Amino acid sequence: MGFLKWFLQNFGMFFGGLFLVYIYMILRRLTVLYDFLRHVQAGEEQTRMPVGRDPALAFLSPFFDRLRTAKGGSPAVEAVIDAIWSEVDCRISVHFTAINGYINTLVLVGFAGTIFGSIGAFNEMFQGLAKGRAASRVFIDSWNLGLSTALYTSLGAAAIGGFAVTLLYSRFLMTRAKRLETMIGLRIVEVLEKGDTCQEENNEAVS
């Protein structure tokens, strides 16, 4: 509780609350991404081929089943493939985009907090000097009534943004996301080439 009290005092009630909300939203998106990407191979390993019924592609199983039943060469195949990539955008890419958006917004919120805090700090400073108060008192009041908000919001935005960007583009997330796209492409080819040979896919999945 002491930390929350300090946080809200120094960041301000509004900006502090906003920061906490954004941190929660970023964590939520990262959790969803982790859920989708945790089964994908990480690091520099070769992508497994054939892909087969990889657990990482479990969320696209209905789409692959639909692709399997589509007649080869018909427009339905292209439509299903487009639907698969749209689904990947909807379930994976949107979270990357959202987190990027949150980070950009946090930077702007930090900037707004700096302006807001500076206004409060200068107002307090000029009032104090005009009233002839002691300089130490004026500086303490300026810190408490704006300067801390101005500095901490900028620092917070930079820290959270930097951490989130580092995590986004880390091997844990971005590499796996790209590998997932690779696996989806390979799986589409496998389904199209093998047609409706479900038995062969089951054998490959087992081996």
Partner 1 sequence: MRRFLTHADGRLKSGRIAFLLFVGLIVCFSLAYRFARPVDRVMVAVTHMFNAQPVKTAPEAARPQEKPAKPVEAKPAAPELRQERSGPPVENKPAKRESGEQAVPRTGESLDKGKMDKGKNRSRPASAKKPANITTAPAAPPGTVLSEKEKTDEGVSLTLEGKAYESIYRQWREAGGNNRGALSLRIENLREVYPLLQMKAVATLNGKPYVDLSDGSRVAEGALESYSSTRFLVSDPFEKWPDALARAGLVPSMRVEVWYYTYDFIRNAIYGRAWQAIDCAIQGGLIPAETDPASMDLLGRAYAVKRKGGGGFAVFVPIRVDLPGDLPGGRTVRIDPSCFAGNGDVAALIAAGILR
Which residues here bind partner 1, judged by CB under 8 A?
Answer: 1-4, 6, 23-24, 27-28, 30-32, 34-35, 55, 58-59, 132-134, 136-137
Q: For partner 1, which is the closer residue by CB, 77 or 145? A: 145
Least distance (Å) between residue 207 CB and partner 1: 22
Q: Tell me how far apart the 2 most distant CA atoms of the chain are, in Å.
A: 89
Least separation in angstroms between CB 91 and partner 1: 11
How far apart are CB 22 and partner 1 at their closest, in Å?
Answer: 11
Is the Cβ of residue 111 or residue 126 nearer to partner 1 in the bound state?
126
Least distance from partner 1 to the Cβ atom of residue 137, Å: 4
CA dihedral (194, 198, 204, 207) in degrees, to 10, reads -170
For 126, residues 6+ apart whose C-beta sits below 8 A from its C-beta are none
Instruction: Encode 83-111: b = buried (16+ Cβ within 10 Å), e = exposed.
Output: ebeeebeeebeebbebbeebbeebeebbe
d(CA 22, CA 113): 15
Q: Could you tell me which residues come within 8 angstroms of residue 6 by beta carbon, excluding any fewer than 6 positions away? A: none
Of residues 70 and 125, the one with the C-beta less far from partner 1:
125
> Which C-beta is closer to partner 1: that of 21 or that of 79?
21
